[in-house]
Every structure is written in structure tokens, then in C-alpha cells.
Amino acid sequence: MEHPSSGFKQTKRLALCAILAGLSLAVLYLGSLSGIFDLCAVVVGALCTAFVVLEIGGVYPWLTGAVTGVLAVLLLPDKFVALEYIVLGGLYPILKSFLERFGRIFSWILKLIYFNCALTICVLLAMFVLHLQDFVSASWILIYGAGNVFFVVYDIALTSFISVYVLRLRKRLKIRGLK
């Protein structure tokens, strides 16, 4: 028999995930409207997903990423921003927490393999599904070179955020009862 408060905890977790999914979607919408801040919006979405990974864990980060990704595909005017979110904001923070268990060098190899596979899928989808030929008309070397530099900086920034949150902000926010 379940403890009476376990239903409340599940409701609390689900409500927090819904709020963070809504926040991510709102920021993604603003980013897709601007045309300039789309990657910044994806990073904010990734921070929301990383928060769910850190504070709740389990299946909840997957649910948050999936709900936000589906709603982004359905509602955003710029579908490429939705694709960026799915790859970098929804899925990557979850995979990052898993991949970093393999040690520093091997985890970087796996992360870069993931990113380059995801980038290839994004480029192919941009070309053949979204018909963004202008996006891909640039040099392939430029796309992959700049993409990998961005990804390394993004990963380091995400790690820094997670460290600051765990070491400093978590105690100040006093979030309890989620796990």
C-alpha cells in the first residue's frame, strides 16, 4: 500500500514539470519569433530540462522534454527552433547526465558523436522536410565546425549552471519533497 503523501508528491512533480514545459514553450515561442534568439531560447529550455533531471529524475525529464517538443512542433511558427529544442534542449540534458558517468574523455567522445549525428539529422531534415535550402547552402565544414564549437561551449555552460545550482542555489531555494 502506498503512503498517502506519495500521490501528493507525484502531483507536485507533474505540476512542476508542466510549469517548466510551459515556460520552455513560451521562451521558445519568443525565440522563434525573433529569429535571432532561437539558440538562447533553446538553452533556457535545456535549463528547465536539466532542473527536472536534477530535482525529480526518473521518467519526468523525458515527459517534460517530450511534451515541450511535441507542443513546439505543433505551435511554433519556426519549426527549426522546435527541432533545435528537441535535440539540444529536451534530449541532451538527460543524455548528458547519463553520459558523464563514463569518465571525462569517453563521455566527450560520446557527446560529440551524439551531437554530430543529431546535427546531420537536423541538416537533412532542414533540406528535405522543411525545404530550407538556404540554411544548407553554406559550406558543410562551416556548419559542422561552428556547430561543434557551439556544442562544446554549450556543454561547458550547462555544466557550469548545474554546478552553481547544486552548490549554491539549491540550498537557497529550499526545494523539498520532489524526490
Query: Which tops the pLDDT comparison, 75 or 8?
Result: 75
Tell me which amino acid residue 16 is: L
Whole-number pLDDT of residue 59: 93
Pick from 138, 124, 127, 126: nearest CA to 82: 126
- What is the full DSSP assignment across the chain? ---HHHHHHHHHHHHHHHHHHHHHHHHHHHHHHHSSSHHHHHHHHHHHHHHHHHHT-TTHHHHHHHHHHHHHHHH-S-HHHHHHIIIIIIIHHHHHHHHGGG-HHHHHHHHHHHHHHHHHHHHHHHHHTS--HHHHSS-HHHHHHHHHHHHHHHHHHHHHHHHHIIIIIHHHHT--S--
78-107: per-residue pLDDT in tens? Answer: 888 898 899 888 999 999 989 999 988 999
117-127: per-residue pLDDT in tens? Answer: 998 888 887 77
Using the predicted structure, report yes or no on whether residue 1 has a pLDDT greater than 50: no
Using the predicted structure, report yes or no on whether residue 128 has a pLDDT greater than 80: no
What does the pLDDT average to over 107-112?
A: 95
Whole-number pLDDT of residue 126: 73
61-83: per-residue pLDDT in tens? Answer: 999 999 999 999 999 998 888 98
Whole-number pLDDT of residue 93: 93
Using the predicted structure, report yes or no on whether residue 162 has a pLDDT greater than 80: yes
